[in-house]
């Protein structure tokens, strides 16, 4: 089934405008939705909003949006005021700069969309894609939709362009907020860890190798219940913090055979230590020298 465009846009590239179509790159079908039901009769429930002061149900027509500027103090806005404050949709992606592809940390990635050329846009579209691919740079610009303004990245991928919606700087936390102690990494531990990485290394990421096991379990349980069968619940396993020897854990991981990659390489031998010399009594005789036997 051919993909259906959800919008038509223009990509502003200098004095060049590239007509493109916007397509959803992901689909929200992975989750399984449950409805809230009345336990006694099994009927669907309806959500209601209750006034905390008067304890009465409030209809949507009597609701307004408010911003809490102090404890239990609000300023209210009408729908018209909020619409006027929102960003006007221009249906245009304005490219502001081109940056190295590796300079944008994936932590800033939000939603992703596919961009395909619209009528009359095939040539400039291909030119933009190939130019970014050969220079190793991606485009960063702005895009307005649904009353909001977004930062977006246009990056070339195999087959075309992806418009990656980015988070603003204020939406991303910093690692400096974490109190991570400085820890020394020993060379032997580092070597074992690197060997473990090489043992589990792949040339590229293949998402088809991963499946949602939780979704599978829920779907199987739903089907059993539909068929009138009972489901059995496994006893929860007790998990507690265990103090492990890091070197032994790394060695055990390396010795474990991986069926996908064959037998794991042998871990490096532990550092050889000379056995301690036994203390000799002061009056013990000196060891006799070995005699060399001459061969005939």
Q: What is the pLDDT of residues 122-155, one digit of tens each?
A: 999 999 999 999 999 999 999 988 888 999 999 9
Bridge partners of residue 160, in order along the sequence? 157
The closest alpha carbon to 26, from 143, 150, 144, 114, belongs to 114
Average pLDDT for the chain: 82
| pLDDT tens digits, one per residue of 202-218 | 898 888 888 888 888 88
Q: How many CB atoms lie within 10 A of CB 163?
A: 24
Q: Which residues of 188-212 are buried (b: 16+ CB within 10 A; e: fewer)?
A: eeeebeebbeebeeeeeeeeeeeee
pTM of the predicted model, to two decimals? 0.68
How far apart are alpha carbons 143 and 163 in whole angstroms? 10
Is 258's pLDDT higher than 70?
no
The pLDDT-based confidence of 239 (bands split at 50, 70, 90) is low
Q: Is residue 267 pLDDT above 70, yes or no?
A: no
Asked whether the beta carbons of 43 and 154 are under 8 A apart, the reply is no
Q: Which domains does the chain have, with CATH numbers?
A: 7-27+91-171 (2.40.290.10), 49-85 (no CATH)
**pLDDT classification of 290: cutoffs 50, 70, 90:** very low
- Give the ranges where the chain is alpha helix by DSSP (H): 79-85, 122-135, 187-199, 213-226, 246-255
For 155, the 3-state DSSP assignment is strand
What residues does 73 pair with on adjacent strands? Answer: 70
pLDDT of residue 279 exceeding 90, the answer is: no
pLDDT at 104 exceeding the cut of 70: yes
Is the pLDDT confidence value at 112 over 70? yes
Find the farthest-apart pair of alpha carbons in the chain and give their distance in angstroms, rounded.
117
Which of 32-41, 133-142, 146-155, 182-191 reaches the highest mean pLDDT? 133-142
| Mean pLDDT, residues 269-277 | 47
Tokens found for residue 286: 């000196």
**pLDDT digits 0-9 by tens, 42-79:** 999 998 999 999 999 999 899 999 999 999 999 999 88
């Amino acid at each position: 089934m051919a993909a259906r465009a959800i919008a038509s846009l223009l990509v502003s590239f200098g004095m060049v405008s590239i007509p493109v179509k916007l397509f959803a790159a992901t689909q929200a079908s992975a989750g399984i939705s449950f409805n809230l039901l009345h336990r006694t009769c099994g009927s669907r429930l309806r959500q209601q909003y209750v006034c905390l002061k008067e304890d009465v149900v409030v209809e949507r027509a009597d609701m307004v949006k408010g911003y809490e500027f102090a404890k239990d103090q609000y300023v209210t806005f009408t729908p018209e005021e909020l619409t006027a404050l929102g960003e006007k949709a221009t249906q245009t992606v304005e490219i502001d700069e081109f940056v190295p592809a590796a300079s944008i940390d994936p932590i800033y990635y939000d939603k992703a969309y596919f961009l395909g050329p619209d009528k009359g846009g095939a040539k400039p579209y291909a030119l933009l894609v190939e130019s970014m691919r050969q220079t190793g740079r991606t485009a960063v610009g702005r895009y307005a939709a649904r009353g909001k303004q977004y930062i977006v990245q246009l990056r070339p991928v195999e087959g075309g362009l992806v418009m990656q919606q980015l988070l603003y700087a204020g939406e991303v936390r910093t690692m400096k907020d974490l109190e991570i102690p400085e820890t020394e990494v020993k060379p032997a531990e580092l070597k074992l860890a690197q060997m473990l990485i090489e043992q589990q290394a792949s040339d590229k990421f293949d998402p088809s190798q991963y499946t949602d096991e939780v979704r599978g379990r829920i779907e199987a349980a739903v089907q059993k219940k539909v068929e009138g069968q009972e489901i059995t619940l496994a006893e929860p396993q007790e998990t507690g913090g265990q103090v492990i020897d890091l070197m032994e854990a790394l060695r055990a991981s390396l010795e474990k055979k991986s069926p996908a990659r064959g037998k794991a390489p042998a871990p490096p031998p532990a550092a050889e230590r000379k056995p301690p010399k036994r203390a000799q009594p002061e009056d013990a005789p000196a060891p006799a020298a070995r005699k060399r036997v001459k061969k005939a």
